Chains A and B, each alone.
Chain A
Amino acid sequence: MSILLNKDSRIVVQGFTGSAGTFHAKQCMAYPGTQIVAGVTPGRGGQTHLDRPVFDTVEDAVRQTRANASLIFVPAPFCADSILEAMDAGINLIITITEGIPVLDMARVKRAIESARRGGRDVRMIGPNCPGVITPGQCKAGIMPAYIHKPGPIGIVSRSGTLTYEAVHQLTQVGLGQSTVIGIGGDPIAGSSHADILGLFESDPETEAVVMIGEIGGAGEEEAAKFAREHMKKPVFGFIAGRTAPPGRRMGHAGAIVEGGSGTHAGKIAALRECGVTVVDNLSEIGATVARSLKKELAA
């Protein structure tokens, strides 16, 4: 088991023939188990790219290849439209790597997703501005360096790309593999929240513990901590970046900004501790902390 992605996932790549789409689709295809079944680039339907059929529309791709997940590299100005197209074609897992989507575009996308979910459809969006999703040993849909991962019991959910790689690398080094690793992205409005993903990990029998990586800005980590306290039995470990970031300045990610005293590092750490999340203060200690704590649990 795993969450969201596995060896049965059939992925269509939107923005397939562009430079980012081409480079990363190739890397995903090279990861054992991954099924990239089609690509979409409007106007290039009927062609073949990387040995895969290219379609003009996502609808065509779904009809002819039974794709059930989408990986999006479409440039920011057109990306919201591509997400909505994937939804309209019936895709229920939409992973958007694209960075720089206007926040009001995401507001409109999020409304569409929520209204579909209220109607009973289990559609999920991951991202934007994220490294994607990987289920080690089964499927990679994203831009992460695959070789640092290994299959195992730890679920990871994170707002940041390279910070996730750091955590994965440390866990692998201490012998702890990962069930699924998910980047939810660094934008103020994201398709999925930390809490959404925690819920999925809690119901996944193969995940034994979760590492949650957050940063300053917003209230996603606080809400996730509350969720963990109320709905989770599995241990959760948390790291929050941005202790030294000055308020009011945007730290690279559009979502990483302390506004009007909310979303501070201290506030998030306090909320995590209060809810029983094990807080890791030193970024280099994530792997060691999880290993130590799980060993203790086994001994008990």
Chain B
Amino acid sequence: MKLLEHESKELFRSKGVPVPPSGGVIDSAGKLASALKRAGKAPWVIKAQVLAGGRGKAGGIKLAKNPKEAREAAKAIIGMTLVTPQTGAKGIKVKEVLIETGAKIEREIYFSVVLDRKSAGPMIIASAQGGMEIENLVHSNPDAILKFPVDPTTGLLDFQARKLAFALKLPAERVGEFVKLAKNLVRVFVDYDCSLVEVNPLVLTPKGLVALDGKVVTDDNALFRQPVLAAKKDHEASALEREAKKHDISYIGLDGDIGCMVNGAGLAMGTMDTIALAGGMPANFLDVGGAANEERVTKAFQIILKDPKVKAVLVNIFGGIVKCDMIAAGILAALKKIKLKVPLVVRLQGTNVEAGRELLAKSGVKLISADSLWEAAQKAVAAVKEARN
């Protein structure tokens, strides 16, 4: 789950990582005065709270020297549609802004802790050149990027943090402060089960080091032991995706028009790819899971069909633990509850496939059946074309 900047900073604060004085988050300019008061003295920074980088250049972050400027900034940002290289052309609507006091920046550093698959643990990535996109730096100046693997059991050790401080060419009198901050950021990563903790930039100010921005991604698998995180809303997921999750269905909405229901994440991706190969576009990723039952199949149908773009549905099930006859019964039960107005292509294979096919055939329900996935994908694409003509 991706956290917003203000949520990330809340975690930072709880582990002793210094962040700018905050006036909190507001969703209308009317609440600005009290937020400014809470934040402290001008200048203030008004920051759009969306899950996308590149906010500054797109007009989502503004500096205000007085209350009038702050008001104009808040009015301009709240409600705007922010388009950055990370949002796509459609952009993201800004609902809230964070109010903070501005910092006197002497130097900017890039600092992050990521989950590194190769070393199988957390890894610090840092650069003396902060503020810019780290992806660009990887290409333009890879030597400027420092990488330090960390043992999650011990956390960052003092000497490791010191090494990092010297490599970042911090002035000697700032090293002690940096060691403390770096260790605490690793604590944020480990204690909250994160897969990413990014501070870009981490700034040197006359008053000390400050995490000026914050981006955190947490591990969904660990939510059972992270009550603070489990209580948060998943801002990235659409309403439909959240609804699916409640029923243990893994669903992600896409741009195409062929709805898919598949068991298994890999096969679900493979089904999407096969639809594309056949000349169509998938409307969603959907994994009904290994423990799918009739009820869940019905729910999956309802979710797929709530997307108005869907012009055909392709069901691809390879029965293992999940039995094809159960899926067939689920499809029939779902069709009793939902009026299906688009063509349905079904491909069943695996455990109890004959019983499943027989159930569907006997039911008299109008559907297009297919033996292989390739055949199913071609039939779904053809059905969509036919519906258009």
Question: A-side interface residues toward B, CB under 8 Å?
Answer: 24, 76-77, 99-104, 106-108, 110-111, 114, 131, 143-145, 148, 158-166, 169, 186, 188-189, 213, 215-216, 218-220, 239, 241-246, 248-249, 251-256, 260-261, 281-285
Contacts and interface: CB of A to CB of B under 8 A. Distances in A.
A160 B267 contact: yes
Interface of B: 86, 115, 117-118, 120-122, 134-135, 151-153, 190, 193, 195, 219-222, 224-225, 250, 252, 254, 262-277, 281-282, 285, 287, 290, 318-321, 349-351, 372-375
A77 B225 contact: yes
Given A111-B151, A131-B320, A251-B285, A244 B276 contact: yes
Contact of A160 (B221, B266, B276): B266
25 contacts: A76-B224, A77-B225, A101-B221, A107-B121, A110-B121, A111-B151, A131-B320, A143-B290, A145-B350, A145-B351, A148-B350, A160-B264, A165-B318, A166-B270, A166-B318, A186-B266, A219-B117, A243-B272, A245-B269, A251-B252, A252-B264, A253-B265, A256-B265, A256-B266, A282-B277
Contacts of A161: 264, 266-267, 290, 320
Given A111-B153, A162-B320, 8 more contacts: A103-B195, A104-B222, A107-B122, A161-B320, A169-B318, A189-B120, A242-B273, A283-B274
A163 B153 contact: no
A83 B287 CA distance: 27
B254 A244 contact: yes
Q: Which 4 A-B pairs have the closest CB atoms?
A: A160-B266, A252-B265, A162-B264, A284-B374
Given A104-B222, A252-B285, A241 B190 contact: no
Contact of A144 (B86, B277, B320, B349): B320
B135 A162 contact: no
Contact of A107 (B120, B250, B262): B120
Contact of A219 (B118, B152, B287): B118
* Main SS class of interface, A: loop
Contacts of A242: 269, 273
Central interface residue in A106, A256, A260, A283, by most chain B CB within 10 Å? A283
Query: Which of B120, B219, B275 is packed against the most chain A CB atoms within 10 Å?
Result: B120
Nearest to B250: A252
Given A102-B225, A103-B115, A162 B373 contact: no
Contacts of A107: 115, 120-122, 152
Contacts of B287: 252
Contacts of B120: 106-107, 110-111, 114, 189
B152 A241 contact: no
Contact of B268 (A77, A169, A252): A252
A145 B120 CA distance: 31
A42 to B, nearest CB: 19
Contacts of A101: 221
B247 to A, nearest CB: 14
B221 A103 contact: yes
Given A103-B195, A145-B350, A252-B285, A243 B265 contact: no
Contacts of A245: 269, 272, 285
B121 A111 contact: yes
Contacts of B265: 160, 186, 215, 251-253, 256
B270 A163 contact: yes
Contacts of B282: 244
